[in-house]
Amino acid sequence: MTISARTAVIHGRVQGVAFRHHTKLAARAAGLCGWVRNCADGTVEVWFEGDDEAVARLETWLKRGPPAATVERVELETVTPAGHTQFKVRFD
């Protein structure tokens, strides 16, 4: 099993629509670790790591998001895994 990690910045109507909560559920269901948080500029930022296939599934999910969201653009970057042990919502 190959482990990979990504960061994503999601643009659009992504705050106030439970995007963080649904991202946490999707990531945990896929067996991924990392975090999600709202940013001051109205975007949502996600760090996720795990099995390559699970990472790819979350990438696809982020491009549509939960039903109430309108995703306009997702900026993805490959990063070095940080060894996160769970997936959580950050409030910083």
Give CA angle at 63 (60, 64), nearest 5°: 105
| Separation of alpha carbons 5 and 38, rounded Å | 19
Give CA angle at 80 (84, 62), nearest 5°: 70
Token pair belonging to 63? 């491009």
Catalytic residues: 20, 38
